[in-house]
Structures are given as structure tokens and as C-alpha cells.
Amino acid sequence: MAFLYNLVQKSASPGSDSTAMWVAFTIFLSYLVGDPLLHQSIGYDILNSTTIYAIWAAYDVVTLLFIAFISAKKTVENLPAKIYIIIGFSVNIFLFLGMYVDLQYGKYIGAWWFWHIYSIGVNLSDIMMIIALVLNKDFLGFAKCYKWILKNKTLSQSRCI
């Protein structure tokens, strides 16, 4: 959805920056490759394995690296969606790894509080990334917080010297 929006926006103003469109396309491809229905259509039931969460975490790590490469020349001021994508994928990676460890090594049989955190957390971070790619605005203040952290970090380093 965010890719199509960015594609239409790019075609409406051909001279505009296309970084958000390529980031959205990368996310689209990542989610397409990790889609359980696609895997099932080629004869592999990916949901039958507890390693699915480790696979999804690996997909997200690779996607995050591709996005870092694509948006390397863009700052958070130019592309506020960048910080939201980094935060969203980081949350997803940790939640996927948490679910993998829980299912692989945990002793819980039924649902418990972490499963609810996982369900809500993954969906909220995905929605946040979609909104960030569509709006490309700092709607939650993450970019502002990031700038503040960088500013205070450089101030504290200059005091030590």
C-alpha cells in the first residue's frame, strides 16, 4: 500500500526524490518473500515449523540492511520515515527472536503475556512504518528525539575534551 502510494506520488512529480518509494518497494518485496501463502503455493508449509520466527527475523535484518544502503545519503531531516523504519524493523526483529526462543526453548504450552505483546507489537510497528512511508513526517516525534540525542551526545563529548 505504501509502495503504491509512493509510486503514484513519484509519477505525479517526476523530479521529486524517489528514496521513500524504493524503501517502500524493498519492504514490499521483503514481506512478499516472507508470506506464508506464497510458500504454501510452492509446496512448503512454512507455518508448520517453529523456525519461522527466526526466518522472519533474518528477512527483517536483510531488509534493514538494504534500506540502510538505499537511504544512506538521506538524513532524518530529509527522510523522517527512515527513523520510523529503523525502529519498526528493530522492534519486529526482537519480537520475532523472542517468539523463536520462546517456542524453541520455552516450557510454556499455551498463550502467555509475551504472545500478546508480540501480536500487538508487530502489528503496531508495521502500521507505524506504513504511516511513516505515506506521510514522511515526524508524526510521533522520533526524529525530533533522535536529533536531541545527537545534539546532547556531541555536547557531552565536547565537554570531555
HEC readout, the chain = CHHHHHHHHHHHCCCCCCHHHHHHHHHHHHHHHCCHHHHHHCCCCHHHCCCHHHHHHHHHHHHHHHHHHHCCCCCCCCCCHHHHHHHHHHHHHHHHHHHHHHHHHCCCCCCCHHHHHHHHHHHHHHHHHHHHHHHCCCCCCHHHHHHHHHHHHHHHHHHHC
CA–CA separation, 153 and 156 (whole Å): 5
Convert the pLDDT of each residue in 131-160 to its tens digit.
Answer: 999 998 888 988 899 888 888 876 666 555
Counted domains in the chain: 1
Convert the pLDDT of each residue in 34-79 to its tens digit.
Answer: 888 877 777 677 777 778 899 999 999 999 999 999 999 998 888 8
Convert the pLDDT of each residue in 84-120 to its tens digit.
Answer: 999 999 999 999 999 999 988 887 777 889 989 999 9
Global pTM value: 0.84
Domain range spanning residue 145?
A: 2-160
